[in-house]
Amino acid sequence: MIRLQVNGKVRDVDVDPDTPLLWVLREQMGLTGAKYGCGIGECGACTVHIDGEAVPSCTVPAGEAVGRKITTIEGLSGKAAEVLFRAWTQGDVPQCGYCQPGQIMQAAALLSTTPKPGDEEIEKAMSNVLCRCGTYQNIREAVQKAAKEMEP
């Protein structure tokens, strides 16, 4: 049994501590926003926040997340989330949508630490999440728009 703190709630789950966090979130907790893409930390579809940092949850053994603050797209909140959700909707960003939770989690981590990112910083951060539908231009524009709204 391990105890995880996810989206502000403490949850006890009966899993092997080596189980990838992604599977615990999806299978044990029913949080299916984080998606399975590659399973090897390459595509970013499974991105969640651990202590505010964007990480591919397929590469993190659940046991390593014990005692840390895990946030999934279902629990994303705050100013960065607000402006990103708005920019994503207004920009009509998704196509199939599969990669989009990962994209938003990556963007939220960026804006939380760097409220006014330059184009290069956006490019670098967002290159961690792949999109098979090629929505990259829409994503970059939405992050730029959201970043502007972060300004006081």
Contact between 112 and ligand FES per CB under 6 A = no
For ligand FES, which stretch binds (CB under 6 A), given 4-12, 69-77, 118-126, 129-137?
Answer: 129-137
9-13 and 47-50 beta bridge pairing = unpaired
Site string for ligand FES, 3-42 (x = CB under 6 A): ---------------------------------xxxx-xx
DSSP labels for 24-64?
IIIIIT---SS--S-SSSSS-TTEEEETTEEEEGGGSBGGG
CB of residue 115 to ligand FES, shortest distance in Å: 25
Contact between 44 and ligand FES per CB under 6 A = yes
Contact between 91 and ligand FES per CB under 6 A = no
Beta bridge partners of 11: 4
CB of residue 60 to ligand FES, shortest distance in Å: 9
Q: How many secondary structure helices (H) and strands (E) does the chain include?
A: 5, 5
| CB neighbourhood size of 148 (10 A) | 11
Beta bridge partners of 61: 20
Q: Report the residue from 24, 29, 48, 56 that binds ligand FES according to the rule CB under 6 A.
A: 56
Contact between 96 and ligand FES per CB under 6 A = yes
Query: Distance between alpha carbon 44 and the CA centroid of its chain, in Å?
Result: 8
Binding residues (CB under 6 A) for ligand FES: these are: 36-39, 41-46, 56, 58, 94-100, 131-133, 135
